[in-house]
Structure 1
Amino acid sequence: MKIGIILGNGHTPHPGELGRAVEQRGFESLFYPEHTHIPVRSKRADGTPTRNYARTQDPFVALAAAAAVTSHILLGTGVCLVPQRDPFTTAKAVATLDDLSGGRVLLGVGAGWNREEMADHGTDPRTRMALMAERVKAMRAIWTEDEASFHGEFVDFEPVWAWPKPARPVPVLVGGNGPGTEDRVLDFGDEWMPQCGPLETVDELRDRIARLRDRAGRYVPVTLFGVPHRRDLLDQFTQAGVDRCLLPIQGPDTATIMSTLDALVPLLG
């Protein structure tokens, strides 16, 4: 089992300091979430306010700072909100980060849940899944073709030049727990990235992983994020077929977050 860290909402330490601390303590990876902004009027599905999400740093800028002071931890997005991003700009950011970090990027992608935030980006929530699929496919073309082109319903461009190219295919981790998520993994993803909270049981997760791998005809790696800080759960998820667990950390200040990291080190053994 690989164990990484995913930054929660609220206070954000300097990413260089956090990246160095994560690597020095022996964690495998560091993931950053994404929200460009939070509309004041928006609330979560359960009616709770979403203000803390507004403190989220740009994941690619933050991960670049972490990359500059680390040598081997993997650097991921958890998740990049592709439907709210220009595919050319995102492809460039991912490829540049991968180049600067020596091939350490994991691109977690998701369609988002904050409809007000989507609307501010001009994104129609009803078509965001199809939009995400086309943008990821377009980015793959940009990363792999010297003269890249793409023709879809939402993304359409004639041949373009764009460098740098990733030294190796950047793994795309498709986030989500809904019934159509596996279809999206098979359509444009390399790995599945479900969230721990919405899962009903470990047995359900085991069954979904097995069915996904059977449908794919290949081994599909699974990264589970938002995992509670418990050894028994890590063991259960290992038995269920999960490859990587991301432990969330958050706190009111940097000292609290660093203390949390220290407390999590025994889970690595």
Structure 2
Amino acid sequence: MGNFKFGVSLRAVEGSAQWITKCRRAEELGYRAITVPDHLGERCPAPLPALAVAAAVTEHLRVGPLVMNVPFYNAALLARDVATTIQLTGDRFDLGLGAGHMKSEFVEAGLPWQRASMRIAILDKTITELNRRLVEDGTTPPPLLLAGNSDGVLELAAKHADIVGFAGLRQAPGQSPGTFQLDDAEAVDERVAFFRSRAGDREVEYNMLIQKVEITEDRRAAVEAWQDSIPRDILDTDRLLDAPQLLFGTVEEITAQLVARRERYGFSYISVFEPEMEKFAPVVRALAGT
């Protein structure tokens, strides 16, 4: 079980000056990684160019996509782009890959939407092809992060990943692909146990992408207020308070939650979304080096 590492998922580029300022601010606040998601939509950045700039304007931060939507890409072209990004980032690059989950984005891109087993097979083949092409090019493959919740993705992560990414979300039954529901603590226990059963004694870093951070003196009231703002049915209050992908409480309470969850699940690499970057910084400082 490693020391804590904190990352921030930056999700919007509004110009070079703003992006540079934001990346440097993350480093000032004590974050150790900047990640960028791979989505289509207003102001959604292309991950690899944005990450190359992030590395260029910071000193120590690791950078990486969280995660590349692999079925979007041709493996040969992706290998070329990854190799260039490794060179431009000074070997501070972690390659995050996933199988894709938003049907609407495939439709927007004019790409076929395939069932999950097919997308996972594409991910598997791409991992092998990327490694082959990078090695043949004389490039050392970067640390690999694989993120997902399904058996198929977690089995691939158990075999290949240096970092396994959890988000505590699963496809909502009966809803369109890409509509998620939160897992409770016991469901996350099961997913982590499944991964561990497949990974054996491999040393893998465990990442959790936190879905909500709220610094508050009253955890229960804050969770209840948040529940009221969510349009669809979610877990009850007690289960939300215990959910490892949510952080509600004082700085001291949240630090205690993270320590307990590292012990329970192994989550030592904690990522938050961009809107939470400033408010979460006191927690980053409190747990630095522990």
TM class by shorter chain equals: 0.7 to 0.9
Partner of 1:50: none
Letter in 2 for 1:83: P
What aligned pairs does 1:64-213 form with structure 2 within 5 A after superposition? 64-119=52-107, 120-126=109-115, 127-145=118-136, 162=137, 165-166=139-140, 169-198=141-170, 200-213=183-196
* Counterpart position of 2:29: 25
Distance 1:202 1:233 in 2: 12
**Partner of residue 245, structure 1:** 270
| Contact 1:224/1:246 (8 A) holds in 2 | yes
For residues 97 and 118 of structure 1, what CA distance do their matches in structure 2 show? 25
Kindly indicate whether the alpha-carbon contact (under 8 Å) linking 1:16 and 1:68 is maintained by their aligned counterparts in 2.
Answer: no
From 5, 8, 11, the equivalent of 1:2 is 5
> Where in structure 1 are there 5+ consecutive unaligned residues?
38-52, 146-161, 251-259
How far, CA to CA, are the matches of 2:10 and 2:266 in structure 1? 24
* Displacement after TM superposition at 1:17 (Å): 1.8
Report the residue type matching 2:76 in the other structure: F
Query: Structure 2: which 5+ residue stretches go unaligned?
Result: 171-181, 214-246, 248-253
Pairing partner for 2:279 from 253, 263, 269: 263
Q: For 2:94, what is the secondary structure of its paired residue?
A: strand
Match of 1:15 in 2: 19
Whole-Å separation in 2 of the counterparts to 1:261 and 1:11? 17
Matched to 2:145, the amino acid is: L
Cα 1:115–1:200 shift into 2, 3 Å: closer
Partner AA of 1:91 in structure 2 = A
Q: Which residue of 1 aligns with 2:177?
A: none
C-alpha contact 1:12 1:56 (8 A) present in aligned 2: no
Q: Which amino acid aligns with 2:125?
A: E
Q: TM-score, normalised by structure 1?
A: 0.74
- Number of residue pairs the alignment of both structures matches: 225
Compute the RMSD of aligned alpha carbons. Answer: 2.4
Distance 1:12 1:175, change over 3 A: farther
For 2:208, the equivalent position in structure 1 comes to 224
TM-score, normalised with respect to structure 2? 0.69
Checking the alignment, whether the CA contact within 8 Å between 2:96 and 2:145 is kept in structure 1 is yes
* Contact kept? 1:118, 1:125, Cα under 8 Å: no
Paired with 2:93 and 2:6, the residues of 1 have a C-alpha distance of 16
Aligned to 2:230: none
Structure-1 separation of matches of 2:86 and 2:190: 33
- Off by >6 Å, runs of 4+ in structure 1: 9-13
Q: Distance in 2 between matches of 1:204 and 1:114?
A: 22
Deviation per residue, 1:145-174 (Å, 9 max, x gap) = 2xxxxxxxxxxxxxxxx46x13xx312211
Partner AA of 1:220 in structure 2: V
